[in-house]
Each structure stands twice: as structure tokens, then as C-alpha cells.
């Protein structure tokens, strides 16, 4: 039997994978699930031409999950992870993915909660857009030249809220008033790290300049404050916060950045923080591992915390 629409493969049926699967089904696309126990190579024999292969696993599982996918599927890849930057997919030999910068929250047992319109970019953005429309999620299809800044904007939001929440009581709206010094310090440090990651990953000085020029700090700060204002009751640190801190302290140290607030939080909340390699251990910016690659190199790293 032939379906009118090619199927969408969804890798990882957690919170986001499940709700987006529902969106594709409502939009009329069959969904083919890839679970941890699934053998993607075998599945690709019966699903050789999916419309999209959407990888909805967590940050630490991204590299191993993509590495298992057959090459025929890689050209159809879609990504949704927080903390995502282009170097992560380029390191995995993925050149032109569709990316959804998910600005809604989906927690177990709770409905979708929108913070800002979800931004989708890339060759299959319209298809992801159909699923979001079917779910009633506001969205914006963004041109490729806006993708980098949109990624960094979401990374800034998730990292500032999660890291601040390790130390500060309250909700997102409290950051702008009661916890302003912590908010300002973290915003500056996350922006410094994101900019360093983007430029160190670019090959050659022209590419570095062009990558850096795509990031406008004032616009990024404005988007952060707009997202907080749009959902001031948003919770701060979730279950992922300690692991986000660990990943990003590790990246900052490897890049040789001095980020005092990151370091203070690491001393307080990461018992093994002293064991992370220091800047001197990895002198070449081009060799800095991406966030997604870190778990391969630090096997002791935990799975996403619960
Ligand atoms: N949920 C949200 O509101 C939201 C919003 C924006 C962005 N995000 C981002 O979206 C990503 C997914 O978030 P989530 O909340 O959906 O996480 P989640 O509920 O933990 O779901 C991830 C799923 O991926 C599965 N998985 C891991 N490795 C796999 C593999 N190799 N093959 C197949 N399945 C695999 C996990 O299986 P196990 O259960 O066996 O571990 C789990 O079911 C994260 O990067 C998150 O930051 C989430």
C-alpha cells in the first residue's frame, strides 16, 4: 500500500518526539519511530525515501544517534536540540539539515506551552511547519542567513535560565529584577562562550569574521528579555541544568575563556568540576569539541540527569 505522503522518521520518542509525531500524523504523514533498540539500517530498507528524519534525542545522545543513521537518511535530517550550533552537525558530516528552534515547552503530563514562535529553517522547514500548524504551535520559517543567530538566541535563553536557576530561587521574571546581577553576568558569559564557539569552529579568518558578524548582541539580549517577558512564570533550572552547566564549563575551559560565574556555579554544583581539562590542554581552537561530541570524549559523563 502506498501512502499519499512519504513517511517522517522520528528518532527518539520522548517529550518532543512524541508531540511532533502527533503533529505529523495530524498533518497526514505516516510516522516511523526509531527507538534505542531499533536498527535504523534495517528500517531504512523498508523506508528508503522518508520525507524527513527528525532526530529528537537529547543533547548528549545526538552524536551517537546520528552516527547510527544510514547515509541515505542523512540528507533528510532534521534537528531540534537545545545548545545546537552548526559545528555539531558539520562534525557529523551532515551538511544541510532542517532545524527547528523549539520555543515551546513540552513536559510529561502537561500540554504544550509556547514561549515564542518556534523558528524553523532548512530544506524541509515547510514540512515541520505543517506539523506545528496541526498542533496549533505558532511558528516562523526563517531564511538560512538567520539560522545562526536564532540558534544562539535559544541557547542564550535556555542556558541563562537553567544556570541561574541552580543558584536563584523563583521564576524567569524574577531574573530581571531580584536577580539582575546574576542575570547580567550569565548573559554576558553565555554570549561570550557562544561567540567563541561559533568563531573557533569557522575555518579561516574570513569565515570567522562572517560567523561573528551574524551575531548581534543587542538583538540577542532583546530576544532573551522578550522571551522572559512573554512567559515570566517559566521555571528556571530543570532536570537538565547540572548537565548543561557541566557541558558548557567544559567547553569554556577548553577554549581558554575565563567565565567567573560559570566557574563559581561549577565549584558549587559540580562535584567533579576540578577534573575538567583546562584551557592549556587543548590549545587549538579548531580542535575544540562540540557540545554534542563531549560525551564521546568523557565517557564518565552521565546520561541526561533526571
Ligand atoms: N521537551 C521540550 O520542551 C523541549 C523544548 C525545546 C527543545 N528541547 C530539546 O529537544 C531534545 C529532546 O528533548 P525531550 O524533552 O524530548 O527529551 P526526552 O524526553 O528525554 O526524549 C529523548 C528521547 O530520545 C530517546 N533516545 C536517546 N537516544 C536514542 C537513540 N540513539 N535512538 C532512539 N532514541 C533515543 C530517549 O530514550 P530513553 O528514554 O531510553 O533515554 C528519549 O525517549 C533535547 O535536546 C531538548 O533540549 C526539548
- β partners of residue 78: 54, 98
Contact 191, 220 (CB under 8 A): yes
Distance CA 299, CA 295 (A): 6
Domain identity same for 153 and 135: no
Sign of CA dihedral 196, 266, 250, 107: negative
Tens of pLDDT, residues 247-259 = 999 999 999 999 9
Domain identity same for 176 and 240: yes
Instruction: Kindly give the distance from the C-alpha atom of residue 104 to the centroid of ligand 1, in angstroms, as a whole number.
Output: 14
* β-strand pairing of 139-141 with 113-114: unpaired
pTM given for the model: 0.90
Percent of the chain with pLDDT over 70: 89
Domain identity same for 83 and 155: no
Task: Evaluate whether residue 155 is within a structural domain.
Answer: yes
Domain identity same for 106 and 152: no
What is the domain count for the chain? 2
Domain identity same for 167 and 290: yes
Instruction: Kindly give the distance from the C-alpha atom of residue 181 to the centroid of ligand 1, in angstroms, as a whole number.
Output: 32
Task: Evaluate whether residue 304 is within a structural domain.
Answer: no
Predicted local confidence at residue 239, as pLDDT = 87
pLDDT band at 300 (very low <50, low <70, confident <90, very high): very low
Predicted local confidence at residue 3, as pLDDT = 74
- Ligand 1, pocket-test mutation among 10, 12, 92, most atoms within 8 A of CB: 12
Task: Evaluate whether residue 305 is within a structural domain.
Answer: no
Q: Has residue 207 got a pLDDT over 90?
A: no
Task: Evaluate whether residue 220 is within a structural domain.
Answer: yes
Distance CA 291, CA 132 (A): 27
| Domain span including residue 215 | 145-297
Who contacts 199 (Cβ-Cβ below 8 Å, separation ≥6)?
208, 211, 212, 285
| Residues framing ligand 1 (Cβ under 6 A) | 11-17, 34-36, 56-59, 61, 64-65, 80-82, 102, 105-106
Tens of pLDDT, residues 74-99 = 999 999 999 999 999 999 999 999 99
Domain identity same for 175 and 278: yes
Task: Evaluate whether residue 3 is within a structural domain.
Answer: no
Task: Evaluate whether residue 2 is within a structural domain.
Answer: no
Domain identity same for 42 and 149: no
Domain identity same for 151 and 28: no
Amino acid at each position: 500500500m502506498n501512502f499519499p505522503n512519504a513517511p517522517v522518521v522520528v528518532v527518539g520518542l520522548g517529550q518532543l518526539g512524541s508531540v511532533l509525531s502527533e503533529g505529523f500524523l495530524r498533518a497526514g504523514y505516516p510516522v516511523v519511530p526509531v527507538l534505542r533498540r531499533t536498527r535504523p539500517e534495517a528500517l531504512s530498507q523498508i523506508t528508503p525515501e522518508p520525507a524527513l528524519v527528525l532526530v529528537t534525542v537529547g543533547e548528549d545522545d545526538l552524536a551517537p544517534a546520528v552516527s547510527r543513521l544510514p547515509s541515505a537518511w542523512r540528507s533528510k535530517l532534521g534537528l531540534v536540540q537545545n545548545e545546537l550550533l552548526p559545528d555539531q552537525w558539520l562534525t557529523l558530516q551532515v551538511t544541510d539539515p532542517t532545524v527547528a528552534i523549539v520555543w515551546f515547552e513540552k513536559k510529561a503530563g502537561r500540554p504544550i506551552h509556547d514561549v515564542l514562535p518556534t523558528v524553523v529553517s532548512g530544506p524541509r522547514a515547510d514540512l515541520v511547519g505543517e506539523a506545528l500548524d496541526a498542533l496549533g504551535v505558532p511558528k516562523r520559517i526563517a531564511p538560512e542567513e538567520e539560522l545562526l543567530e536564532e540558534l544562539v538566541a535559544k541557547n542564550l535563553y535556555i542556558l541563562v535560565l537553567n544556570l541561574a536557576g541552580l543558584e536563584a530561587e523563583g521564576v524567569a521574571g524574577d531574573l530581571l529584577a531580584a536577580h539582575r546581577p546574576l542575570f547580567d553576568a550569565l548573559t554576558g558569559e553565555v554570549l561570550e562562550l557562544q561567540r567563541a564557539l561559533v568563531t573557533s569552529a569557522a575555518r579561516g579568518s574570513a569565515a570567522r569574521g562572517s560567523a561573528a558578524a551574524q551575531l548581534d548582541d543587542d538583538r540577542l539580549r532583546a530576544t532573551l528579555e522578550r522571551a522572559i517577558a512573554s512567559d515570566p512564570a517559566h521555571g528556571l533550572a530543570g532536570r537538565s541544568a547540572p548537565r548543561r552547566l557541566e557541558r558548557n564549563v567544559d567547553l569554556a575551559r577548553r577554549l581558554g575563556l575565563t567565565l567567573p560565574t560559570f566557574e563559581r556555579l561549577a565549584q558549587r554544583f559540580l562535584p567533579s568540576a576540578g577534573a575538567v581539562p583546562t584551557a592549556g590542554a587543548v590549545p587549538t581552537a579548531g580542535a575544540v569539541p562540540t557540545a554534542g561530541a563531549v560525551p564521546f570524549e568523557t565517557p564518565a559523563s552521565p546520561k541526561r540527569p533526571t
